Amino acid sequence: MKTKHICLLGLLFFLISYLFFSKVLPSFQKPIDFAHWFNLFGACLLLSFNRVFPENKLNSVASFVTALGVIAHIGLCAIDLIMSSFGNNDFAKVELSNQIRNTASIFYPFIVVGPSLLFIGLAMHALNFIKTNLVSALMVILAAPAIGLSFFVLKDGIYMLLFCLIFVAGLGLLLYRKESEQVLINEEVCK
């Protein structure tokens, strides 16, 4: 399987997870928490974007940030999968939430800051294409923070899904950009 195909599969899994999170897909997540499993596999597969974009200084930083974001997504999904294992035991869920919230070494890297790094890293990758693929790059760059705002501030699953769709579409368009544009970017990187 080519790296581009792995990236595309990651985008598909990630989008499916957001369909579950936004409650567009029916909630048949018992006994399996499909939303977090799709999110976990999607995030891991999105790590492949580190190998398909041109190599330069920005790409190196973006790759590192993306890798940190994937690690944080793995931790976040693990926490959420544990949370879902409590089923209807709301007391246990509240206790676990309080424990996590009171443990800074878990709360900040895996809940607050870490998962955002995946979006930031992929948006940094998109910056490489701001001159050659303006619309696609802006789709990724603007949708990345909008996903977080729609979740944390607006608390609206439909907006979150819409921005995720724009984010995924932008990355997909950048992934399958024309070869002539890739040559132009490689020439600019070598200068």
Structure confidence at residue 180 (pLDDT): 45
Distance of CA 32 to the CA centre of its chain: 21
- What's the average model confidence in pLDDT over 162-188? 77
CA distance linking residue 128 with residue 141, whole number of Å: 11
Among the ranges 30-39, 129-138, 143-152, which has the highest mean pLDDT value? 129-138
Q: In this structure, are residues 3 and 48 in contact, taking their beta carbons and an 8 Å threshold?
A: yes
What's the 3-state SS for 129-143?
A: CCCCCHHHHHHHHHH
- What's the average model confidence in pLDDT over 57-83? 93
pLDDT in tens, 94-130: 999 999 999 999 999 998 888 899 999 999 999 999 9
Taking the whole predicted model, whether its pTM rises above 0.95 is answered as: no
pLDDT band at 28 (very low <50, low <70, confident <90, very high): low
CA distance linking residue 172 with residue 32, whole number of Å: 28
Residue found under tokens 């920005």: 58
- What's the average model confidence in pLDDT over 32-52? 91
CA distance linking residue 117 with residue 119, whole number of Å: 5
pLDDT band at 8 (very low <50, low <70, confident <90, very high): very high
Structure confidence at residue 191 (pLDDT): 52
